[in-house]
């Protein structure tokens, strides 16, 4: 289990570095987490994009860059078998942020 967590964190860091180098500066893409599955043969990299209106464009960009990201991981990490990578918008993080916004609004209304 510890190995999986360490691998996921390593992939998260590599994804953040890769995106920082490859993405345009029109939006801020933040890697939030990585989920490994199928005995680490597959990995989903979750991210958020700001402004939110650029999420779809960011997702399309990252899906196009999957082969380049795989090569980047191969060159920069001592990982035996490189998983198949996919990218997804982190809806859980978006929901958490929205709940936080609503909570802040409630506090303002009470005060």
pLDDT at 95: 67
pLDDT at 12: 97
Q: What is the three-class DSSP state of 40?
A: coil
pTM over 0.85: no
Specify burial of residue 60 (Cβ count, 10 A radius: 0-12, 13-18, 19+): exposed
- Token look-up 């597959």 returns 42
- Token look-up 């680490």 returns 40
Closest to 29 measured CA to CA, from 8, 46, 41: 46
Q: Residue 73: is its pLDDT beyond 60?
A: yes
Number of helices (H), then strands (E), belonging to the chain: the values are 4, 3
- Token look-up 């994009």 returns 49
Main-chain phi, psi angles of 26, to 5 degrees? -70, -25
pLDDT at 27: 86
């Amino acid at each position: 289990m510890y190995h999986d967590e360490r691998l996921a964190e390593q992939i998260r860091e590599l994804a953040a570095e890769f995106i920082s180098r490859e993405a345009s500066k029109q939006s801020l893409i933040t890697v939030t987490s990585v989920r490994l599955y199928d005995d680490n043969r597959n990995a989903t990299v979750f991210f958020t994009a700001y402004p939110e209106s650029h999420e779809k464009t960011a997702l399309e960009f990252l899906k196009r860059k999957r082969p380049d990201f795989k090569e980047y991981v191969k060159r920069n990490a001592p990982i035996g078998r490189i998983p198949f990578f996919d990218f997804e918008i982190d809806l859980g993080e978006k929901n958490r942020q929205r709940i936080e916004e609503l909570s802040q609004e409630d506090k303002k209304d009470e005060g």
